[in-house]
Amino acid sequence: MTDPVPEIRTVVLERDFAHKPEKLWRALTQPHLIAEWLMANDFAPTVGHKFRFTADWGGVDCEVKEVDPNRTLVYSWDALGLESTVTWTLTPTASGTQVRMEQTGFRPDQNQAFHGAQAGWRNFLNHLDTVLSREV
């Protein structure tokens, strides 16, 4: 008999923004804008580009996995023992854009990281909304 595969958990947040996908895309892919709502970084929207988010507590090592401008952005997110993937999906709506953020890869023994990500991403999306409310 084989041991069951541990259940991998995912954080998913969806939010409607009153801005076009192009504006959201800029906020998700331009380093100076990312720094305003997420963390300092050396991001470039190029598949294979390795980059790092940094904050006073440390950093996150990442690699761009997929880029479909104004639609999808996928990158790895590796920090403090967590090896995960973040996927941003932008869907145009009549009033702007629906943003779906999905971070998958949380093992059952990573409760603190899982719950921290749930709260953290909500906070980051609030900051993103503030950045978008200005001219981007």
| Burial bucket for residue 86 (CB in 10 Å: 0-12, 13-18, 19+) | buried
Q: What is the pLDDT of residue 57?
A: 87
Q: Going from the N-terminus, what domains does the chain have, and what CATH number goes with each? A: 21-97 (3.30.530.20)
Non-local CB neighbours of 66 within 8 Å, separated by 6+ positions: 47, 72, 73, 74, 87
Residue 36 DSSP SS3: helix
What number is the average pLDDT over the span 111-135?
A: 94
What number is the average pLDDT over the span 8-26?
A: 97
Query: pLDDT of 27-73, one tens digit each?
Result: 999 999 999 999 999 999 999 999 999 999 899 999 999 999 999 99
